[in-house]
Amino acid sequence: MNSSIRAAIIGSTGYGGVELIRFLLRHPNVEITSVISSSSVGKPLSDGFPHLREIIVDHLDAVDIPLIKQKADVVFAATPHGVSAELVPQLLDAGLKVIDLSGDFRLKSPAVYEKYYKRKAADEVYLAKAVYGLAEVFGEQCRDADFISNPGCYPTATLLGLIPAVNAGWIDPSTIIVDAKSGVSGAGRGLSQSFHYSEMNENFLAYKVNRHQHTPEIEQVLSQIAGKEVLTTFTTHLVPMTRGILSTMYAQLTDSKSDEEFIDLYREYYKGRPFVRIRPSGQWPATKEVWGSNYCDIGFSVDERTGRVTIVSVIDNLVKGAAGQAIQNLNLMMGWDETTGLEFTPVYP
Ligand SMILES: NC(=O)C1=CN([C@@H]2O[C@H](COP(=O)(O)OP(=O)(O)OC[C@H]3O[C@@H](n4cnc5c(N)ncnc54)[C@H](OP(=O)(O)O)[C@@H]3O)[C@@H](O)[C@H]2O)C=CC1
Ligand SMILES: CC(=O)N[C@@H](CCC(=O)OP(=O)(O)O)C(=O)O
């Protein structure tokens, strides 16, 4: 089926929104019919983002649900936590399809959301409607969905790196430790002291240790895959680069396995899913090798000495970790080939 669809983007002036526009401008089945802002209504988007001069619908619309309904069939909400919780139910009630990039609909438990996000959870009726859009794992559910909650950037890299091994019972999930690093664009376009050039440059730091909001998201999915409660140690770090996430994962093997066995297991699990690329033994993926693309590249090393496996997974946080996966989910929702509009080779060097 190759029918086209009209798309609106709320949060068009943010990093996720701008990245959605970059990809959707080249999507053969999507027409961008409204770019939406809460603070720059009426201004041309390309004034702030001259690289998007080719956009036809340039003037920023207000967040006006009846107007969005008139102009669009699907809405991407690239809006902050809390904003999506309020907006998404109104969009769904208006009969629109929605893909939400925020964390507001990923966690099924309102109490867990409120503990980690420190704000009121979204309405449970809408939480129950959200399909968690980790495309390579829950793609079948995405195909029938009208509302997809796009995974977080760190969970995307981490879960794609862990799920096949947890699913096969090859690692003991209670021993998983995740050490993840992100480029600064992961924090969005807003300004804050920690992201000033002089604070970030030549610096490397851990943050939100043992309290990161992506911990329960990772645990929720791993518990579902393992069929029992899984708790993980998950530590995030900021790296002075613009884009990219590298997640290093460690876990105890349940039985002796080789690198080649891991490679075969993962290649089989992700068969037919072109955005996950498994590296040959001894090759480690780097963030530059997926930069600007929707790929997730994964490498392995089994340590016979300790009986542990080390798994390294990389993505571009703004693409596979946000806009790219959101478009992959739209493709699944619409019954299109999941790669449509996303076939970009990474930019290198
Ligand atoms: N950056 C990343 O790597 C990733 C981000 N995400 C998530 O995606 C969402 C967007 O992130 P990102 O683009 O980085 O964030 P930004 O801070 O760069 O952009 C957020 C946008 O939301 C808009 N906005 C703010 N308040 C409102 C409101 N009340 N109503 C409507 N729009 C509003 C702002 O635009 P304006 O002021 O013009 O309205 C702003 O441009 C967030 O929920 C984030 O957590 C998820 C995965 C990765
Ligand atoms: C570098 C950096 O600050 N990253 C953000 C990732 C936030 C994100 O994009 O994910 P959500 O949609 O779940 O908020 C953080 O660690 O909170």
Reading the block at residue 115, the tokens are 């503990």
pLDDT at 2: 56
Compute, in angstroms, the gap from residue 347 CA to the centroid of ligand 1: 24
Q: Indicate whether 3 pLDDT > 80.
A: no
Q: What is the mean pLDDT of the chain?
A: 97
Q: Tell me the per-residue pLDDT of 9-66, one tens digit each, with 9 for 90 and over.
A: 999 999 999 999 999 999 999 999 999 999 999 999 999 999 998 888 889 999 999 9
For the residues of 236-274, what is the DSSP string, one character each? EEE-SSSS-EEEEEEEEBSS---HHHHHHHHHHHTTT-T
Name which residue leads in pLDDT, 58 or 187. 187
81 CA: nearest ligand 1 atom: 43
What is the ipTM, given to two decimal places?
0.98
Choose which residue among 37, 106, 107, 132 to substitute to test ligand 1 binding: the one with the highest number of ligand atoms within 8 A of its C-beta. 37
Q: Indicate whether 1 pLDDT > 70.
A: no
Handedness of CA 190, 60, 19, 216 (dihedral sign): positive
Tell me whether residue 145 is in a domain: no
pLDDT band for position 176 (50/70/90)?
Answer: very high
Compute, in angstroms, the gap from residue 30 CA to the centroid of ligand 1: 21
Residue nearest to atom 1 of ligand 1 (CA): 186
Tell me whether residue 322 is in a domain: no
**Residue 11: phi, psi to the nearest 5?**
90, 30
pLDDT at 261: 98
- Mean pLDDT for 252-267 is 98
Q: 173 preceded by cis ω (within 30°)?
A: no
Q: Judge whether 296 counts as a catalytic residue.
A: no
Does residue 124 share a domain with residue 159? no
18 CA: nearest ligand 1 atom: 13
Tell me whether residue 333 is in a domain: no
Tell me whether residue 197 is in a domain: yes
* β-strand partners of 252: 308
CATH code where residue 294 lies: 3.30.360.10
Does residue 111 share a domain with residue 241? no
Ligand number nearest CA of 75 is: 1
pLDDT at 56: 83
- Domain range for 216 is 154-317
Does residue 170 share a domain with residue 103? no
- Mean pLDDT for 149-177 is 98
Lowest-confidence pick of 19-33, 53-67, 271-285, 298-312: 53-67
Does residue 189 share a domain with residue 90? no
CATH code where residue 76 lies: 3.40.50.720
pLDDT band for position 69 (50/70/90)?
Answer: very high
pLDDT band for position 345 (50/70/90)?
Answer: very high
CA dihedral 43, 97, 87, 94 (to 10 degrees): 100
Tell me whether residue 139 is in a domain: no
CA dihedral 269, 275, 278, 282 (to 10 degrees): -160
Tell me whether residue 227 is in a domain: yes
pLDDT at 191: 87
Does residue 161 share a domain with residue 119? no
pLDDT at 286: 98
Residue nearest to atom 3 of ligand 2 (CA): 187
In the chain, the number of structural domains is 2
Tell me whether residue 341 is in a domain: no
pLDDT at 135: 97
Tell me whether residue 216 is in a domain: yes
Q: Indicate whether 257 pLDDT > 90.
A: yes
Residue nearest to atom 29 of ligand 1 (CA): 83
